[in-house]
């Protein structure tokens, strides 16, 4: 059975296929881009929804870490656009990881994934990092011989739901856990910022934001050359040396998506800049106070909190 998670416009998205009760990942071909860069969502059928629902519960459950102290949401909190507000996230053993947590909003449309991992191009690949990383540990599991499947099989709630989706033969195995988490993360889609609506000619920007937009896309600053906004471009995330911020020869890092940039501080792969003003100054731009204000006004138009109305974006345990 094909799992058509979303009808994606102009991007590559992963698809799921069940063979019996097995699970594999394939790639869909790019579809035709629509005017205004709009993304069309297709409704989930009952089995697709059951899989995403299962992943929703797992994402917010501390039992997914080996010592049961952290969930996926510990580093990817909905109220922070699925980041955590720290310079670098903290794993389940209390050790800091190398980088800060990137937002998961629209993560299904991006590739590659990770700050310094150009080879990690699918969500199933990426999920193995926080689950199995050991240097430092994040969720703390060693490998697929470890015992999370047995733990979940001992919880009646999970045992019933895994069996309903994957069948009675070892339904809580690792590949099915990953499948549920990927199905959930693939629903974290939102294109309702003021700037989205402006591009669709549904609203306007104020004077400051328009001036900031002109600066953002000017030859002088050229921000838009790396930070591409159009949804159909989100699949192809560039890696750039931090030439404006670091000495020549510095390793390259993924160019971050700027959606919800105003609520995802601190900034940079290591969280070195606490606010937008310090980030703009760090880039070496010579800006007047008015230009800085206008740029920040434009960046604020990227804020999209409409997803708070979607139950998939919130902690299911908070309503118990």
Q: 23 pLDDT exceeds 90?
A: no
Straight-line distance from the first to the last Cα atom of the chain, in angstroms, rounded to the nearest whole number? 32
List beta partners, residue 241. 252
Predicted TM-score (pTM) of this structure = 0.82
Assign 42 a pLDDT band (cuts: 50, 70, 90).
low
How far apart CA 105 and CA 170 sit, in angstroms, is 32
| Mean pLDDT over the full length of the chain | 80
182 phi and psi angles, rounded to 5 deg: -65, -45
Q: pLDDT tens digit string along 77-130?
A: 999 999 998 988 888 989 998 888 889 998 888 877 877 777 888 999 999 999
User: What are the structure tokens assigned to 229, written together?
Assistant: 């906004």
Q: Are 11 and 234 in contact (CB under 8 A)?
A: yes
Least confident of 62-66, 166-170, 177-181, 254-258: 254-258
Residue 24: strand, helix, or coil: strand
Q: Is the pLDDT of residue 249 over 80?
A: no
pLDDT in tens, 168-189: 999 999 999 999 999 999 999 8
State the span(s) of the chain assigned CATH 1.10.760.10: 41-190, 194-300
Cα distance between residue 27 and residue 229, in whole Å: 23
**Contact by Cβ (8 Å): 302, 261:** yes
Q: Say if CB 201 and CB 36 are below 8 A apart.
A: yes
248: Cβ contacts below 8 Å, ≥ 6 apart: 241
Maximum Cα–Cα distance across the chain: 65
pLDDT at 231: 55
Could you tell me the fold of the domain covering 194-300? Answer: Cytochrome Bc1 Complex; Chain D, domain 2 (1.10.760)
Look at the alpha carbons of 18, 19, 24, 25 in this order and tell me if their dihedral is positive or negative: negative
- Is residue 68 pLDDT above 60, yes or no? yes
Which of 38-42, 57-61, 299-303 comes out lowest in average pLDDT? 38-42
CATH of domain 41-190: 1.10.760.10
pLDDT at residue 36 tops 70? no
């Amino acid at each position: 059975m094909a799992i058509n998670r979303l009808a994606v416009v102009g991007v590559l998205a992963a698809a799921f296929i069940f063979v019996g009760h097995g699970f594999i990942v394939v790639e869909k071909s790019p579809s035709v881009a629509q005017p205004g860069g709009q993304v069309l969502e297709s409704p989930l059928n009952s089995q697709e929804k059951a899989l995403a629902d299962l992943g929703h519960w797992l994402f917010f459950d501390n039992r997914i870490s080996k010592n049961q102290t952290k969930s996926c949401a510990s580093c990817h909190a909905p109220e922070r656009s699925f980041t955590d507000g720290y310079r670098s996230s903290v794993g389940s053993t209390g050790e800091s990881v190398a980088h800060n947590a990137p937002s998961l909003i629209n993560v299904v449309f991006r590739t590659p994934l990770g700050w310094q991992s150009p080879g990690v191009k699918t969500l199933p690949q990426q999920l193995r990092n926080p689950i199995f990383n050991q240097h430092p540990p994040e969720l703390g599991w060693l490998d697929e011989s470890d015992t999370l499947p047995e733990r979940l099989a001992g919880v009646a709630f999970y045992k019933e739901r895994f069996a309903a989706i994957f069948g009675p033969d070892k339904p809580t195995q690792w590949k099915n856990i990953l499948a549920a988490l990927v199905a959930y993360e693939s629903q974290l889609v939102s294109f309702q910022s003021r700037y989205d609506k402006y591009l669709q000619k549904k609203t306007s920007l104020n004077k400051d934001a328009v001036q900031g937009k002109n600066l953002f896309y000017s030859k002088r600053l050229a921000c838009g050359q790396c930070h591409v906004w159009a949804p159909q471009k989100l699949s192809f995330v560039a890696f750039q040396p931090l030439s404006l911020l670091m000495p020549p020869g510095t390793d390259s890092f993924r160019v971050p998506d700027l959606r919800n940039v105003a609520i995802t501080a601190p900034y940079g792969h290591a969280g070195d800049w606490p606010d937008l003003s310090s980030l703009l100054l760090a880039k070496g731009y010579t800006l007047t106070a008015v230009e800085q204000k206008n740029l920040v006004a434009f960046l604020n138009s990227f804020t999209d909190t409409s997803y708070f109305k979607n139950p998939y974006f919130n902690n299911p345990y908070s309503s118990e």
